[in-house]
Amino acid sequence: MSPWTEALQQLGQPLLDELAAIYTDLHRHPELSMQEVRTAQIVADHVQDLGYEVTRGVGVTGVVAVLRNGAGPTVMLRADMDALPMQEKTGLPYASTETAKDEDGATVGVAHSCGHDMHVTWLLGTARVLAQHREAWSGTAMLVFQPGEETAQGAASMVADWGEGRFPRPDIILGQHVMVGATGTVTFRPGVTLSAGDSLKIRLFGRGAHGSQPQTSVDPVVMAAATTLRLQTIVSREIAPSEPAVLTIGSLQAGTKENIIPDDATIKLNMRTFSDDTRESMLKAIHRICCAESEASGAERPPEFTPLNRYPLTVNDAEATRKLADAFHAEFGGAASLAPNPASASEDFSLFGRAWGVPYVFWFVGGTDPDVYARAVQEKAINRIPSNHSPMFAPVIHPTLATGLRAMLAAASAWLGPDRGARAS
């Protein structure tokens, strides 16, 4: 039995009940990216009461908590705090009914449909176990509660606000994410783990007219429709079948009335790539196609391209991943496994390690009821399980809470264990 399993058994059901209450509260009260004021106050107050050195407002709403416990490495543990601008449809008794103003001033629903409330709860539980069982580890634990992951603003904002010497320099950076998968399981992989992500807004310019006189217009609706169809050929006809890539147009907006041909149309797209070469090739193709369709339509003005966000590749350090794998196999046995392929999701987690030249590892914790997942596997219907960013996404609380807590503690112990602290690096 690991010291962390023993510690969790000592704390027992009261700890899990406390964490479940925190989780359902956070789930019920989500906050948009870079607006996580309530969440940040909850986590800062909680870890401060546990004896951590707490710094608030790092990178707008970020929180950094440091606990020094003798000689040894500094391990940074990260959780993201923000929710999504969407309406929850789970029907859960603790479902969100919150609304907020988005960056454009529109009123939107707000929901923790990506599981960041679970991530925060895991890290709060980790904070408590580390604080109350200092005999089990040696070194410095640095807990980072990050804003704005969904908009790719948060990690960059915290790094920019970090300051020289303000916090200890980490020796390793660790993070985890709840995903579709049988609860009780964890998966990991060395090397490329998550895709790079780019989002663009493309404004196409036409010439407006009355709907009864289309000959006097340059119709941006037709231009946008043709552009949308042609953009779909980038992956199918310009990227090798052996190279994974995704291009999704999630928004196409034009006009206000059925008998008015508008002046312009706006496309918002997202792409995911697994190599820098493919990324550059796709960005050039997007620009080429949009400009060509605009010219073919007789537009008097070229398209306007506005980057919305960018996520770098998440590339786990190979040596650190081997150390993590050993810890996970000791903790979970066969419930810990190697992920066969990178995931097409993207994260800004790696920005911390990239900015400081520090190795990092990111892994996944299953949050799906095991019976539901097993049945979906048998029926070859895993894609029908509501996934992250679905309005129906809802991890089961137990044992997902305990699994993520054990995973974070086991990972940290690979560097903070009392017999490793003096020589780990």
Residue ranges for the binding site for Mn(2+)?
A: 114, 116, 150, 177
3-state secondary structure of 241: coil
Binding positions are 114, 116, 150, 177
How far apart are the C-alpha atoms of 351 and 312, rounded to whole Å?
7
How far apart are the C-alpha atoms of 365 and 79, rounded to whole Å?
13
Q: Cβ neighbours of residue 80 under 8 Å, at least 6 residues apart?
A: 116, 119, 120, 145, 146, 147, 148, 149, 154, 349
Please state whether beta strands 139-146 and 74-80 pair in parallel, antiparallel, or not at all (unpaired): parallel
Q: Cβ neighbours of residue 423 under 8 Å, at least 6 residues apart?
A: none
Contact between residue 312 and residue 350 where contact means Cβ atoms under 8 Å apart: yes
3-state secondary structure of 151: coil
How far apart are the C-alpha atoms of 217 and 206, rounded to whole Å?
7
* Helix, strand, coil percentages for the chain (3-state, nearest 5): 40, 25, 35
